[in-house]
Amino acid sequence: QQQVKQSPQSLIVQKGGISIINCAYENTAFDYFPWYQQFPGKGPALLIAIRPDVSEKKEGRFTISFNKSAKQFSLHIMDSQPGDSATYFCAASGMFSGGSNYKLTFGKGTLLTVNP
């Protein structure tokens, strides 16, 4: 199973609030979990990434929480701002048989709207 399930599909948050997006995976061979931010008409931008040997990683207002036993990881955006309004994708990659290209498997995305 190489699926990554992402929820919610859309999220509305007030300015200053916390945005939380969740992802779950099945394949324990995944060992790299990035989050991407995409604005309309633009390519995705790498926000933050984590490996399964740590449970949390923080970069500025963005935090990834990782639960290896539950095979879940989440993105927390603290003090959400209108400029954070975008689509967020979680992804996962790992070294599978057949090569080391580390293909990314993406979640379906979450449309975040931060109201002023």
Partner 1 sequence: GAVVSQHPSRVICKSGTSVKIECRSLDFQATTMFWYRQFPKQSLMLMATSNEGSKATYEQGVEKDKFLINHASLTLSTLTVTSAHPEDSSFYICSARLLRGSTRGQYFGPGTRLTVL
Return residues touching partner 1 (CB under 8 A).
Answer: 32, 34, 36, 41-46, 49, 89, 93, 99, 101-104, 106-109, 111
Q: Which residues pair with 50 in a beta bridge?
A: 33
Minimum CB separation of residue 45 from partner 1 in Å reads 7
Is 107 within 8 Å of 23 (Cβ atoms)?
yes
Nearer to partner 1, 17 or 57 (CB): 57
Minimum CB separation of residue 44 from partner 1 in Å reads 5
Minimum CB separation of residue 16 from partner 1 in Å reads 27
Nearer to partner 1, 34 or 74 (CB): 34
Instruction: Show Cβ contacts of residue 97 under 8 Å, excluding neighbours closer than 6 positions.
Output: none
| Cα distance between residue 48 and residue 57, in whole Å | 8
Residue 56: φ, ψ to 5°: -155, 145
